[in-house]
């Protein structure tokens, strides 16, 4: 389950200003073309379909996370955008211009890889100045740009050091400085934090997000870590077997997944089966409450943190039903209770330690608000 604090940090307004809420397809609502447009892109490796009919638009300054399990096609899509691979079908446009077959160096973008790939014998400043120098920028100007890029990533004091004299997190920031020194319009990042230990990784997520906001450069960020995507992205693209399953804000992906795959990939939902309720109709019956649904709906999802253990009089808007605790799992700040309610076992998440009376075998009353139930079709 995504850490609730991490998730909500990204969803809440900052500095009292509401976050802009990017729509599922921003391009449709405006006349200027999106920064990046991916149109019906497919890519095969022999008989294997690595990408199938992928559509995506990215706006200037947007932070997009490509999220999905290993082998779903995230890196292949990134490599098509970067120009290291050519799609078999479809088009890729930047600012409305077709770049599907343009070589990588002709694209106004840069890539940060998982391995930092710094030149070990060059100082940090020279590593960063290398790109502008190769592009023909004079030595002094290149050094000035490198200094500015290093300041942006908080390493202005480290320019004289060799990469090996820096920590992993600092080296990754040098790699980032090197990628942004020429101010690309778009930065592609392929699991850039995966070599870092968990604590540093969490800190770098926040730093990277701040740097991205400060620069105003669009990021397309590949990750298989749902928490990372939730914490950083404006929109998440969930991929499965070469296809885009759903594109949406972190809140939409978490609260309103359109498929069972998305619901289960992001967090640990409770999926409640629906029963037939006449021609073309289905329903969920829970604690005397009935949720009607179209027959096409497969199940209703409720997140573990949306189910409460009722102590005393329940609030009027709660649907309540009895259960028996089967298992108690305390991990970090969250305790998950597995509660049997008839045929199903529900996960119930609580912050803090569970009470002494909440032990396996105890009878409890569970409650949920009907609005927390979300119907899923596929
Ligand atoms: P991971 O999270 O493990 O990096 P991914 O989502 O980035 O996975 P890709 O690297 O895009 O996945 O690979 C998608 C599929 O295409 C995989 O099944 C992979 O084995 C296959 N594939 C990728 N590159 C090649 C290649 N050059 N030749 C053959 N098959 C490839």
> pLDDT value at position 202?
87
What is the CATH architecture of 4-20+31-258? 3-Layer(aba) Sandwich (3.40)
Q: pTM, whole model, 2 decimals? A: 0.85
Instruction: Specify the CATH class of 268-376 in words.
Output: mainly beta
pLDDT bin (cut points 50, 70, 90) of residue 20 is very low
Which residue out of 43, 74, 188 has the highest number of ligand 1 atoms within 8 Å of its CB and is therefore the one to mutate? Answer: 74
Task: Read off the pLDDT of residues 47-68 as tens digits, 9 standing for 90 and up.
Answer: 899 999 999 999 999 999 999 9
Task: Read off the pLDDT of residues 74-112 as tens digits, 9 standing for 90 and up.
Answer: 999 999 999 999 999 999 999 999 999 999 988 999 998
Which residue, judged by its Cα, is nearest atom 20 of ligand 1? 71
Q: Which atom of ligand 1 lies closest to the CA of 79?
A: 11
> pLDDT value at position 353?
67
- 152 contact partners, CB below 8 Å, separation of at least 6: 177, 180, 211, 214, 215
Q: What is the mean pLDDT of residues 356-367?
A: 87
Distance 76 CA to ligand 1 centre (A): 6
Question: Is the pLDDT at 17 greater than 90, yes or no?
Answer: no
Q: In whole angstroms, what is the distance from residue 79 CA to residue 67 CA? A: 15
Task: Read off the pLDDT of residues 272-323 as tens digits, 9 standing for 90 and up.
Answer: 989 888 888 888 888 777 888 888 888 999 999 999 999 888 888 888 999 9
Is the CB of residue 173 less than 8 Å from the CB of residue 146? no
Is the CB of residue 328 less than 8 Å from the CB of residue 354? yes
Which residue out of 44, 46, 47, 48 has the highest number of ligand 1 atoms within 8 Å of its CB and is therefore the one to mutate? Answer: 48
> pLDDT value at position 105?
86
Q: What is the mean pLDDT of residues 353-362?
A: 77
Q: In whole angstroms, what is the distance from residue 262 CA to residue 247 CA? A: 10
Top pLDDT among 24 and 72 is at 72
pLDDT, mean over the chain: 87
* Region of poorest pLDDT, from 133-142, 155-164, 200-209: 200-209
Question: Does 78 sit in the ligand 1 pocket, CB within 6 Å?
Answer: no
Domain residue spans of the chain: 4-20+31-258, 268-376
Question: Does 237 sit in the ligand 1 pocket, CB within 6 Å?
Answer: no
| Strand segments (E) across 175-262 | 186-190, 218-223, 235-240, 243-248
**In a 10 Å sphere around its CB, with 0-12 CB exposed, 13-18 middle and 19+ buried, how is residue 115 labelled?**
middle
Top pLDDT among 353 and 77 is at 77
Is the CB of residue 99 less than 8 Å from the CB of residue 35? no
Question: What phi and psi, each to the nearest 5 degrees, are found at residue 147?
Answer: -60, -45
Q: What is the mean pLDDT of residues 232-237?
A: 96
Is the CB of residue 101 less than 8 Å from the CB of residue 62? no
Is the CB of residue 65 less than 8 Å from the CB of residue 221? yes
């Amino acid at each position: 389950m995504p850490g609730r604090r991490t998730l909500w940090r990204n969803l809440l307004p900052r500095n009292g200003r509401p976050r802009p809420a990017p729509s599922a397809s921003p391009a449709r609502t405006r006349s200027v073309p999106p920064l990046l447009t991916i149109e019906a892109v497919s890519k095969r490796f022999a008989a294997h379909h690595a990408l199938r009919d992928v559509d995506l638009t990215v706006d200037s300054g947007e932070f997009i996370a490509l999220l999905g399990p290993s082998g779903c096609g995230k890196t292949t899509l990134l490599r098509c955008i970067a120009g290291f691979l050519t799609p078999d079908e479809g088009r890729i446009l930047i600012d409305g211009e077709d770049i599907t077959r343009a070589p990588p160096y002709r694209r106004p973008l840069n890539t940060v890889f998982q391995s930092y790939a710094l030149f070990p014998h060059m100082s940090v400043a020279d590593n960063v100045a290398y790109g502008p120098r190769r592009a023909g920028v004079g030595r002094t100007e290149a050094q000035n740009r490198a200094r500015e890029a290093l300041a942006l990533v908080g390493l202005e004091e480290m320019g004289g050091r060799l990469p090996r004299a820096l920590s992993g997190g600092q080296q990754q920031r040098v790699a980032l400085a090197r990628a942004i020194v020429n101010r690309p319009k778009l930065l592609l990042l392929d699991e850039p934090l995966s070599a870092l230990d968990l604590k540093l990784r969490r800190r770098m997520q926040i730093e990277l997000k701040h740097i991205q906001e400060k620069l105003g450069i669009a990021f397309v960020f590949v990750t298989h870590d749902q928490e990372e995507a939730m914490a950083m992205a404006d929109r998440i693209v969930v991929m499965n077997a070469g296809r885009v399953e759903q594109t949406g804000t972190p809140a939409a992906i978490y609260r309103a997944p359109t498929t069972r795959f998305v619901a289960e990939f992001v967090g640990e939902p409770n999926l409640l089966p629906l029963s037939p309720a006449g021609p073309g109709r289905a329903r969920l019956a829970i604690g005397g409450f009935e949720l009607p649904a179209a027959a096409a709906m497969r199940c209703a999802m409720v997140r573990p943190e949306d189910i409460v253990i009722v102590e005393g009089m329940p609030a009027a808007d709660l649907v309540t039903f009895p259960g028996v605790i089967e298992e108690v799992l305390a991990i970090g700040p969250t305790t998950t209770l597995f509660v049997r309610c008839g045929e199903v076992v529900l996960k119930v998440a609580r912050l803090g330690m569970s009470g002494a009376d909440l032990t396996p075998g105890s009878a409890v009353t569970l409650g949920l608000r009907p609005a927390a139930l979300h119907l899923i079709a596929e």
